[in-house]
Structure 1
Amino acid sequence: MIPILIIFVLQNEIRLINLLNGLELDSHQRALISELAQTAEDLRDEFESEKEGLESELEPLLEELKRYLLHRKMIPGRLTKSIHKTTEKILHLKVAYERRLDSLTKKVKLLLTPEQYYALERYRPCLIPPPDEARIGQSERPIRIYDLLNRVRSMDSWRYQRVKNKIVSRVVERMMLHKPRWVQIDKDQLQQEMGDLLDEVRGLGDVDFAVKRDGFVDQIKGFLPQPDIKSDHKIVKFLLAPEIVGLLKREYQY
Structure 2
Amino acid sequence: MSCRSLATLIGRVMESGVRCGSSSERCRYQQNWCILAAFCTLVGFSYSSALPSLHQFVTSSTTPDDPDLQPGLGLSETWYSWIVSIISVGELAGAVATSVLMRKVFIKFLMLANLSLCAFGGLLYGVGEYGWMLLIGRFFIGYYMGAVTVVLRTYVGETCSTVIAAMPPEKREKSNLKNTAFFATFIVCTISSLSGPSLAAIVAQIPSIDQFRWLGYFTIIYSFLLGVVTMVLFKEKRGDVQKKGGPVLLKTLPIPLYVSLLIA
Please report the TM-score for the alignment, with normalisation by the length of structure 2: 0.29
Bigger radius of gyration, 1 or 2? 1
Please report the TM-score for the alignment, with normalisation by the length of structure 1: 0.30
